[in-house]
Amino acid sequence: MFIDQGFGAAIAFFFGLIFIPVFLGLSRSFGLYAVVREREAQVFTLFGRVIGTLDESGLRYPVSHFGLKALLVPFFGKRYLVSTALKQYYLRDQMVNSEEGTPMGVGIWYEMQVSNPVSYLFVNANPEGSLQANVASSTISTLSNLEMDKMLEDRHQLSRKVRATVSPLSEKWGYKLGSVYIRKVAFTDRQMVDNITEKVVKRLVQVTSAMKQDGENRVGLIKSQTAYKVSQKMAEAAATRPAVVGAALNDLAGKDPEVLAAVLDVMETDQLIASNAEVDVLPADAQMLVELGGASGRPAPMALDSDAFA
């Protein structure tokens, strides 16, 4: 009995694995329910007319949205799946001519998203290709005959202008145009590229040399000004020193003449020693000068009274 119950449950489980997916597939085929994925919309048509759109993700029941006529869709209508995810495209090497007649290659990046699935399906037979062609033609018409400098420097404003031109028509086709950006503006003539590169290099060399020379001039000017100020201050100090020393000596003479005399003697002796002259010292009781200078032609020695060293 226990074996029979287990065998019956196994058979029920086996048939359940087969029957449930088949049942769900048939229910979906007959339009009893629909699974809407993220960034997806489902458009239902019946007898050639649109009866509604499901764009909220999850398990949905068309009958609850469109009524009993939704049950006729599998037989007399059609269900369209439309992706509403954000898409990005890049158009390379769109040729334009500048005001100077220079051929330029332009790269355009843009993003778009389906905002109206019904218009996307039935207004335009090839909305994606038409949008791409519209973006390219609008970019070419916007950038053609512009000055080269403006074309190279004002790409942000030009991108906004292209987006404003393309957006109204794209909305009619069920698209919502996102950002549009002119990513690349390049020269197509190789010789022209080489000439411009050579000019830029020469200009950079000139600017670098000018900056270097200007720096050297500024450093030289600062050095000369500094040397002038230093020499001026040294001259002022040298001119001030005699006056200060003279004032000090005058003050000392007025207060104590003997000290002044001693100071002068010390200064004189200091100068004499600094001159490396030969000095003969005589005894205090010497009555006469024995010799003045040598016979060898050396400078004459100086005789000092011994009282000066007493």
In tens, the pLDDT along 245-301 reads 888 888 888 888 888 888 888 888 888 888 877 777 667 776 655 555 544 445 554
End-to-end Cα distance, the chain:
151
Give the span between the Cα atoms of 30 and 28, in whole angstroms: 5
Binned at pLDDT 50, 70 and 90, residue 16 comes out as: confident
Q: What are the strands of the beta sheet with 175-187, ordered from one edge?
A: 87-97, 103-114, 175-187
Which of 159, 158, 153 has its CA nearest to residue 178? 159
pLDDT at 207 (0 to 100): 94
Which pTM was predicted? 0.54
CA distances from 53 to 45, 60, 79, 96, 227 (A): 9, 11, 9, 42, 89
Residue position matching structure tokens 């009866």: 51
The chain-wide mean pLDDT, for the chain, equals 83
In tens, the pLDDT along 57-68 reads 899 898 888 888
Task: Identify whether the C-beta of residue 162 lies closer than 8 Å to the C-beta of residue 180.
Answer: yes
Among 12-26, 109-123, 275-289, name the most confident range: 109-123
Give the span between the Cα atoms of 189 and 209, in whole angstroms: 31
> At 47, phi and psi to the nearest 5?
55, 40
Q: Compute the Cα dihedral for 258, 263, 268, 269 and give only its sign.
A: positive
More confidently predicted of 121 and 277: 121
Which of 56, 41, 180 has its CA nearest to residue 120? 41
pLDDT at 308 (0 to 100): 46
